[in-house]
Amino acid sequence: MKYFLETLIALSLFVSACHTENSSQIDSGKRDVYSPIPIENSVILEADSSLTASELIVLLQKYSDAHINTLCVKAKFYDSKQLNALVDSCHQAGINFILHCNNPRDVNTKWVNDFDVDGFHCTNVLSQSVDYWRKEIDSLNELKPVIMISDNSNDELIDAGFSAGRETNISKALAQVFESNESTSLLDTALNSEKYIFSKTFAAIRLASENSLSDTSMESSQMLTMYAMPGVPCVTSFQLQRHNAFLKSFFSLYANTPTLQYGSYELYNSGSTDVFTLMRTYQGKKILFAINTRNKPSSYNWPLNLMGIKTELLLGEKISRNGGQELSPYGYQVLNFENIVGMEALELDDK
């Protein structure tokens, strides 16, 4: 409740700032430097470029209990007055402010000096050399530690200072499984391939493609599949409004569950190629995701060594205590298992 009230007050200041005649006189050079939340603890909102600054802040205010703590916007859609007020308001509410730049040359120290932005989401990264990025990111980090997100990912970019990125194999596999009824083993393979792309110091951004024509239940299950995997949850403003109840529930769980933020993952044979199953583990605690990727009822089985273990349903459909679980079309279960000893993932070849 305290967080909600503080956020509400801070965001209200933004609305006043945007409509105050003297707001253009804000001296951005005199503001205190904000220390951003680490990327691995973030929940990112990508703002629709059609939203005005005032509309965006109303959206953040409306969903202030969705635990969004990083906002990503395209700077060209806001003037200096609006950008100053928006950054200040986000920082007062404990929200990181990141600029989305299509042109790598737009990534420079002026944004940190003049507006105290916390980082950049960069597309077309490979149009510049690694040495270019290393020098640019070093210059930014001299001013403050910045979050650098890339649409590409490799060891050289990580060494240059990028801290997070996207990996398209997961998105492609997600579409093939949900929309073309391919086996969930495609997701297993794509996730395992990330071990060679993402290091412990480089976070994967998890964003499911938005589709206004698709079934809302399917979209929710697609997003949950993305968020089950290790990485940083990301949502668009369109998705936040379309799936607000589901997202509030999951992000609240995510924000209060270290296993989802830091846990490793295990894949196992659930007895179904229609149900995606993944176990997250952290400090002896385990959370199981089981997601039906089909528009029909599907069943899956718990591993034998989970039978009889105390189980808590965190999200989703009712548990069957016999171990065999029936999920409705695009249904899911997120389960917490307690006091598990010796849980090991089975080989992917079995799936």
* Of the listed ranges 162-166, 288-292, 295-299, the one predicted with least confidence: 162-166
Among residues 42, 24, 172, 54, the alpha carbon closest in space to that of 118 is found at 42
pLDDT of residue 331: 96
Exposed / middle / buried, residue 219 (Cβ in 10 Å: 0-12, 13-18, 19+): buried
- Of the ranges 21-35, 112-126, 293-307, 311-325, the best mean pLDDT one: 112-126
The residue among 9 and 297 whose pLDDT is bigger is 297
Q: For position 323, what pLDDT does the model report?
A: 62
Q: What is the pLDDT of residues 146-159, one digit of tens each?
A: 999 998 777 888 88
pLDDT in tens, 44-92: 999 988 888 888 888 888 888 888 999 999 877 788 888 888 898 899 8
Whole-angstrom CA distances from 293 to 238, 275, 348 are 22, 6, 18
Domain ranges of the chain: 2-17+31-261, 264-350
Calculate the average pLDDT of the chain. Answer: 82
Helices (H), 256-294: 258-262
Residues 311-328 have pLDDT tens digits of 889 999 998 866 678 999
Question: Which three-class secondary structure string do you get for 5-73?
Answer: HHHHHHHHHHHHHHCCHHHHHCCHHHCCCCCCCCHHHCCEEECCCCCCHHHHHHHHHHCHHHCCCEEEE
Q: Kindly tell me if the per-residue pLDDT of 346 is higher than 80.
A: no
pLDDT digits (tens, 9 = 90+) for 253-285: 999 999 999 998 988 888 899 999 999 999 888
What is the predicted pLDDT for the residue at 213?
A: 60
Provide the angle, in degrees to the nearest 10, between the axes of the packed helices 216-228 and 168-180.
Answer: 140
Which is more confidently placed, 38 or 299? 299
pTM: 0.84
- Does domain 2-17+31-261 fall into CATH 1.10.1040.10? no
For residue 186, give Cα distances in angstroms to 93, 202, 276, 293. Answer: 40, 23, 10, 12
CB 11 within 8 A of CB 59: no
Q: What is the pLDDT of residue 260?
A: 94
Question: In 181-280, where does DSSP find H-type helix?
Answer: 185-193, 216-228, 237-242, 244-255, 258-262
Least confident piece of the model among 192-196, 203-207, 227-231, 238-242:
192-196
**264-350: in CATH 3.40.50.720:** no
Higher local confidence (pLDDT), 246 or 15: 246
pLDDT of residue 21: 33
pLDDT at position 310: 78
For range 240-261, the mean pLDDT: 92
Instruction: Compute φ and ψ for 327, nearest 5 degrees.
Output: -110, 140
The CB density around residue 143, as the number of other CB atoms within 10 Å, is 13
Burial class (CB in 10 A: 0-12, 13-18, 19+), 44: buried
Place of tokens 């240059």: 160
Kind plus residue range of the DSSP H or E element containing 105: none
The Cα–Cα gap between 29 and 318 comes to 55
